[in-house]
């Protein structure tokens, strides 16, 4: 069978499965999620064995040891995946919630009810546990999903998909609700994102190259974020000890993630007191600083920041630092170089905090807290399938609710339009 | 100046204006909307004069008399446009609403607040009153808008855009919040939908060809609907008199719109009692019926429906009619041929009504009411900028709230991530 025929058949089957899923109640979905968890644990030897087949190829492909580590499945990682499925089973079901209902003058009762999106195409790289996480979240929210993982994890993804499908079949759920694309052929991505008759949403997760390719070529709406160039602005009214703790946490606690701070903006009135200590603490932890001219004057010996450093997502122990004359300059800088992902202000001034919350156009805006809190679990969404930095549908972290939409339901008694 | 440079400059200016709009309160927005209404009335002679320049070109382009009628501005149409702006001013402001706020175990207070989408690219055909309606809705919801209308209305759109811009300037609002693309060059559309650095959403309104072109080529998310192939299913439990009134209304009251009924599905148990009368009433009003074989047996002399009639959006006094053996067959038919726009069931059976509401995957699903109610005003949204039949962001009619998104705001006291 030709690749395009195979993918289209998968998409048709997913659409049919999504029709069945509309009718499924919470108990049915939670039961199958728990059975999936059991199956992963019961078949862990088999999973590890299939995963071992992926590792030589991954080494051949030149993946770094850190990436190979993230690719490797062992009993502890498998237990985490199973635990994740059970946690999703415990979360409330977003489907069926009536988000509002009102009566019209002509007696029509109009409501909005939460429904699944339908069929989701999930395109991702590397870690096979994403296969299980994404499948669980999509199923709980009533969506069918087609999973296209990276070629470096193909055998792992196939065995995981097979086990999840078994659980669906054994509980009388539509088996095609979760399907793994069983090929390493990269053309599969291009085919998938063209099937707008069958697929409702594409969610890509991975490097900026993959995401740009998907966003530019997809005929299906895409939920995505390119990068997180997160800023913290330390105001002249900031409690400096708090500012130091938050900035340190935002940069150092996990520098390789999208909600880590990449640029620090400091009000000139506190820069002389704040920056030298802060810089020392960063440098002691191996952070390379790249400063504007005024920063260089306060922290001698660090590298000068170039124009390319301001919009950069370092994802590493590197930080761009700029001294600003006032809050306006900080806001202008964020507007110009930010990625609309996450920004924070450290301040003790009420008006400044309100102004920052209103004027900064990012998916998460914080006062006196670390940028690292932009995360579905941390913000209380219960789970996270990704972060969206385009404004449509769901701006910011996406949990179960963001995998649904609403439709209007109308109860009438014979009304006609005048 | 090259066309692409001009459009890009408009988009940059719109982005800058949208930054100013974030800070505007309800009073400022409502005042300018009311001033706009005053200006339209005060300058109505000038508007009519510019509109007259468009009409000869429209005739040359071969537009039908009905379309030329819709293009023509006179004092009564201008008064309606002004009235529309005043109505939008009277609607509540969606921006700033906190849709939820909760406390995390670590003390973080997390909220979601409604914000404008940013910059909207609005691409449409024909009627110049859409220019004013769309501009008013975008402004009220805090968005900057770039309006690309049809070449047949270019002079009308330019004068309307100039008057709206004057009102913005005179009230100290950013003048570039509303911009009309001042050219009939069709390449402007292709350029506009590529500017994903500056524009957040594209909303096309017009024929299916325009919408497909935009959806296929846009690098910016698109809110659109292709067509409305709306069904009514008359159940065997339907009160037949009510069914007749609703079906007649849904087809005949205004056949040229997207929420008119295009296919009637009738349960076989009531078809012999229902269809002959219904058919006569339709035929007396000039409706051409196209029936399945079982319909033909009950209503002799009508045309047989071909395969192309089931997915057709006639937008005319034509109706496809099919007799179904049961509700499952009706649901299958809707799933296969429907456009996810609007479907209604006529029934007195409780379980059937619930099942139809749950299983039909359309933006508006009605029980015992006309499909013609799929309209933002009729459903109580206060206004409507369009209907979206893709699932993302807003499924169904879009009012002011649907021109916004939410961001997360977080109030902390020094929290860092563990």
Kindly give the interhelix angle for A154-170 and A129-140, rounded to the nearest 10 degrees: 30
Structure-token pair, residue B355: 């099942």
Q: What is the pLDDT of residues A297-313, one digit of tens each?
A: 999 999 999 999 999 99
* Residue A154, pLDDT score: 95
Whole-angstrom distance, CA of residue A49 vs CA of residue A158: 12
Ordered by start, the domain boundaries in chain B are: 3-225, 230-373
Whole-number pLDDT of residue A226:
80
Which chain A residue shows the shortest CA-CA distance from B238? A414
Put simply, whether B76 touches A (Cβ < 8 Å) is no
Residue of B nearest to A102 (CA): B380
Extract the tokens encoding A335: 């507007």
The ipTM of this complex is 0.94
What residues of chain A lie within 8 A of the CB of B108, using their CB?
A: 369, 373, 379
A273: Cβ contacts below 8 Å, ≥ 6 apart:
A240
Answer whether A372 touches B (CB < 8 Å): yes
Task: Scan residues 272-331 of B and list those with Cβ closer than 8 Å to A.
Answer: none
Query: Taking CA atoms, what residue in A is nearest to B219?
Result: A216
Q: Is the pLDDT at A126 greater than 80, yes or no?
A: no
Question: Quick one: CATH architecture of B3-225?
Answer: 3-Layer(aba) Sandwich (3.40)
Tell me the C-alpha distance between A8 and B365, whole Å: 29
B391 contacts A405? CB cut-off 8 A = yes
Q: Which of B200, B390, B412 sits opposite A366 (nearest CB)?
A: B412
Tokens of A138: 């999509």
Is the confidence at residue A177, as pLDDT, over 80? yes
pLDDT at B207: 84
B362: chain A residues, CB-CB within 8 Å: 407
What sign does the CA torsion over A36, A40, A41, A42 have? positive
DSSP A222: B
Answer whether residue B291 shows pLDDT above 90: yes
Question: Contacts of residue B223 in chain A, CB cutoff 8 Å?
Answer: 392
| B407·A110 Cβ contact <8 A | no
CA A224 from centroid of its chain's CA atoms: 8
- pLDDT for the residue B67: 85
Residue A249: list chain B partners with CB under 8 A. 416-417
Instruction: State the fold for domain A230-378.
Output: Aldehyde Dehydrogenase; Chain A, domain 2 (3.40.309)
CB contact under 8 A, A407 and B378: no
Q: How far is B156 from chain A (nearest CA, A)?
A: 31
Q: What is the pLDDT of residue A247?
A: 98
Cβ pair B246:A414 closer than 8 A: yes
Taking the CA atoms of residue B68, residue B72, residue B77 and residue B82 in that order, the dihedral angle to the nearest 10 degrees is 120
CB-neighbour burial class of residue B197 (10 A; exposed 0-12, middle 13-18, buried 19+): exposed
Instruction: Report, as an integer, the average pLDDT of A131-153.
Output: 96
Residues of A in contact with B408 (CB under 8 A): 363-365, 374, 379, 396-397
pLDDT at A49 over 80: yes
Q: Do A369 and B108 touch (CB under 8 A)?
A: yes
Whether pLDDT at A224 is above 90: no
| R_g of chain B, CA atoms, integer Å | 24
Which pairing describes strands A396-398 and B342-346: parallel, antiparallel, or unpaired? unpaired
Q: Is the pLDDT of residue A293 over 90?
A: yes
The CATH code that applies to domain B230-373 is 3.40.309.10
**B66 pLDDT exceeds 90?**
no
- Best probe of the B interface among A226, A410, A412, A418, by most B CBs < 10 A, is A410
Tell me the average pLDDT across A44-57: 95
Choose among B206, B373, B375, B230: nearest CA to B314.
B230
Contacting residues of A for B416, CB less than 8 Å apart = 245-246, 248-250, 253, 369-370, 372
The span from the CA of A141 to the CA of A117, in Å, is 8
The residue of chain B nearest to residue A340, with distances taken between CA atoms, is: B407
Average pLDDT rounded to a whole number, residues A282-304: 97
Compare B224 and A176 and report the one with higher pLDDT.
Answer: A176
Q: Do A249 and B412 touch (CB under 8 A)?
A: no
Backbone angles phi, psi at A147, to 5 degrees: -105, 120
- Reported as a single tens digit per residue, the pLDDT across B346-389 is 999 999 999 999 999 999 999 999 999 999 999 999 888 999 99
pLDDT of residue B96: 96
A217 contacts chain B (CB < 8 A): no
Going from the C-alpha of A49 to that of each of A44, A53, A151, B222, the distances in angstroms are 9, 7, 17, 45
Cβ–Cβ contact A397 with B under 8 A: yes
| Sign for the pseudo-dihedral over CA of B70, B75, B79, B85 | positive
Contact present, B401 and B94 (Cβ < 8 Å):
yes
CA distance B169 to chain A (A): 22
Q: What is the pLDDT of residues B140-170, one digit of tens each?
A: 999 999 999 999 999 999 999 999 999 999 9
Chains A & B: contacts with CB separation below 8 Å? 217
Is A102 in CB contact (< 8 Å) with chain B? yes
Q: Report the chain A residue with the minimal C-alpha distance to residue B403.
A: A392
Rg of chain A taking only CA atoms, in angstroms: 24
Q: Quick check: A109 contacting B, CB < 8 Å?
A: no
Distance, CA of A252 to CA of B220 (rounded, Å) = 35
**In the prediction, which pLDDT does B322 show?**
98
3-state secondary structure (DSSP) of residue A100: strand
Burial of A350 (0-12, 13-18, 19+ CB in 10 A): exposed
> Looking at chain B, which residue has its C-alpha nearest residue A254?
B417
Give the model's confidence band at A382: pLDDT under 50 very low, under 70 low, under 90 confident, else very high.
Answer: confident
Domain A3-224 has CATH 3.50.50.60: no
Exposed/middle/buried for residue B293 (C-beta within 10 Å: 0-12, 13-18, 19+): exposed
Residue in B with minimal Cα distance to A217: B219
Q: How sure is the predictor about A170, in pLDDT bands with cuts at 50, 70 and 90?
A: very high
Of A113, A367, A413, the CB nearest to B410: A367
Average pLDDT, chain B: 96
Residues linked to residue A290 through DSSP beta bridges, in sequence order? A303, A320
Helix (H) or strand (E) holding A86: helix A75-90
Q: Which two structure tokens, joined as six digits, stand for B404?
A: 């916004």
Tell me whether A108 touches chain B (CB under 8 Å). yes
At residue A70 the predicted structure's pLDDT band, cuts being 50, 70 and 90, is confident
Question: Which of B314, B295, B288 shows the shortest CA–CA distance to B231?
Answer: B314
Residue with tokens 């927005």: B29
Decide: B284 and B315 in contact? Cβ < 8 Å: no
């Amino acid at each position: 069978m030709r690749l395009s025929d195979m993918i289209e058949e998968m998409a048709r089957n997913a659409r049919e499965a999504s029709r069945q899923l509309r009718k499924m109640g919470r108990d049915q979905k939670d039961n199958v999620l728990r059975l999936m968890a059991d199956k992963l644990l019961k078949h862990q030897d088999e999973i590890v064995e299939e995963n071992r087949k992926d590792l030589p190829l991954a080494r051949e492909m030149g993946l770094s040891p850190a990436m190979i580590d993230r690719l490797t499945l062992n009993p502890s990682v498998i237990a985490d995946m199973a635990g994740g499925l059970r946690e999703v089973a415990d979360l409330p079901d977003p489907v069926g919630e009536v988000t509002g209902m009102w009566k019209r003058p002509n007696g029509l009762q109009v409501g909005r009810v939460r429904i699944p999106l339908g069929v989701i195409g999930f395109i991702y790289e590397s870690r096979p546990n994403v296969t299980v996480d994404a499948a669980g979240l999509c199923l709980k929210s009533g969506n069918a999903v087609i999973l296209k993982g990276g070629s470096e994890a193909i055998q792992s993804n196939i065995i995981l998909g097979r086990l999840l499908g078994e659980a669906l079949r054994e509980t009388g759920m539509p088996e095609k609700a979760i399907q793994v694309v069983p090929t390493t052929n990269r053309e599969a991505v291009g085919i998938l994102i063209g099937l707008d008759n069958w697929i409702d949403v594409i969610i890509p997760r991975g490097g900026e190259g993959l995401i740009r390719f998907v966003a530019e070529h997809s005929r299906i709406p895409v939920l995505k974020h390119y990068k997180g160039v997160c800023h913290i602005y330390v105001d002249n009214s900031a409690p400096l000890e708090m500012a130091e703790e938050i900035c340190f946490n935002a940069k150092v606690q996990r520098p390789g993630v999208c909600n880590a701070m990449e640029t620090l903006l400091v009000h000139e009135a506190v820069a002389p007191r704040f920056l030298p200590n802060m810089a020392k603490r960063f440098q002691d932890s191996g952070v390379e600083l790249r400063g504007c001219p005024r920063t260089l004057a306060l922290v001698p010996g660090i590298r000068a920041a170039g124009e390319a450093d301001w919009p950069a997502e370092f994802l590493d122990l590197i930080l761009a630092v700029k001294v600003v004359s006032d809050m306006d300059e900080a806001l202008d800088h964020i507007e110009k170089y930010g990625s609309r992902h996450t920004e924070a202000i450290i301040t003790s001034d009420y008006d400044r905090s309100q102004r920052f919350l209103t004027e900064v156009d990012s998916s998460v805006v914080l006062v006196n807290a670390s940028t690292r809190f932009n995360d579905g679990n941390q913000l209380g969404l219960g789970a996270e399938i990704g972060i969206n930095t385009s404004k449509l549908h769901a701006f910011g972290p996406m949990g179960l609710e963001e995998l649904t939409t609403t439709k209007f339901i109308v109860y009438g008694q014979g009304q006609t339009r005048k």
